[in-house]
Amino acid sequence: MEPQPPAERVLRRLGQLLPERPGVLTELGALLEAAEPRWLLGPGSPAALGELAAALSAFAALPEREQDAAELRDGDGAYEAAAERAAGVGRVFVRLLAKLEAAEAEEALRSAVEPALRRVAGHADTWKRNPATKHVFSWALLHVTRPWLCQHLERVLPPSLLISDDFQEENKVLGVRCLHHIVLNVPGADLCQFNRAQVVYHALYNHLYSREAPLIQAVLLCLLDLLPILERAQRQQQQQPRPSSPCDEVLQLVLTHMEPEHRLALRRVYAKTLPAFVQRLGILIARHLKRLERVILGYLEVSDGPEEEARLGILETLQCTIEHAWPRMPCRVPVLLKALLKMIWDVHTDQGSTPEPVRAALLQRATECLILLDRCSEGRVKILLEGVYSCCEENRVRECIRKVQENT
């Protein structure tokens, strides 16, 4: 009985024959189905499996040149043939992964499985040739969590950055969500090694210049989880704290964009995430009070529709700001008091489609802000409201003022 040829030689040869003889794909599937795990995981097999995976990916991908892609769209059944090739390649990968999974159950082969899996992993730097790859990559990535994601960081971070840097908005959002998953599931020390966290930060920061609400929302949520990691690393690297932190840089740019913004979708996104940045900075929010005050006054003045998401977010922002930077609030009482009273009056007299629970929430948050302003100004707000209460005839407005006056 002749000895079996080494798996390395067989796998390389089959990969080389794929472009010339598409029927080899069926033979390869049958071979993997019948192969023993011990034979498949020989000494040189991981490298050969990597070459085979590359050959299979190239065989399943759409043509690279535009004219070839046009022929696929216009030819008789050519596009269906490309889909059949991709399906056949998918079946081969499933059989190969099943065989590697079976090999992992054998103690003698367990150490050889991981190097093989690393080589077989999909080639996501080629995702533009097959757009479906991005969905496969993101699905697989989002299903790997702590502590297992860390060992794959070098393979998943570059494709995530590449997808987030695409010109299409949907790809940018998908890439940012992949980056967010990495930030949440990789230890900060590993993320900061080789300046990876800084690379992710700069990629996200550049997206803040976008005007698309879904992308801005994804970026801000990711930054809120990345900033603590960056700040911890900075504290460990230097004795004296920096005059400004990455959180300061992000908030400064966000406030710059918020002030003239007129698109309601973006105003809602900015306003909903702003309280988290105020909480993150704490007393250091005092560095941004001038610009933050202008943003708060502008957003309180304009209604943003039935749900009033922007106004509710800004009222929460004002409440957090007063709580953290209360020593700087007394000098701002006249301006903020006027804006809050005007908003209360507008909400009460508005004949629009705002639901009653939303009106109640707006009035409640505005009243809480007035109470906080009164406390930090040692009762000054109560004194200023005395004349308003005596001349106001609207019961709902009087009720808000009464709550402030009776609060001790």
Q: Which residues of 252-261 are buried (b: 16+ CB within 10 A; e: fewer)?
A: eebbebbeeb
One-letter amino acid identity for 392?
Answer: C
Which pLDDT tens digit goes with each residue over 269-322?
999 999 999 999 999 999 999 999 999 999 999 998 889 999 999 999 999 999
Residue 67: its pLDDT value, please? 42
The pLDDT of 164-189, averaged and rounded, is 95
pTM of the predicted structure, to 2 decimals? 0.79
Tokens of 369: 């802000």
Confidence of residue 208 (pLDDT cuts 50, 70, 90): very high
pLDDT at residue number 240: 58
Mean of the pLDDT values across residues 99-116? 79
Distance CA 254, CA 209 (A): 9
User: What is the C-alpha to C-alpha distance for residues 345 and 38, in angstroms, rounded to an integer?
Assistant: 79
pLDDT tens sequence across 332-370: 999 999 999 999 999 988 877 889 999 999 999 999 999
Those residues with Cβ within 8 angstroms of residue 89's Cβ, 6 or more apart along the chain or in another chain: 25, 56, 57, 59, 60
Can you state the percent helix, strand and coil of the chain, rounding each to 5?
80, 0, 20
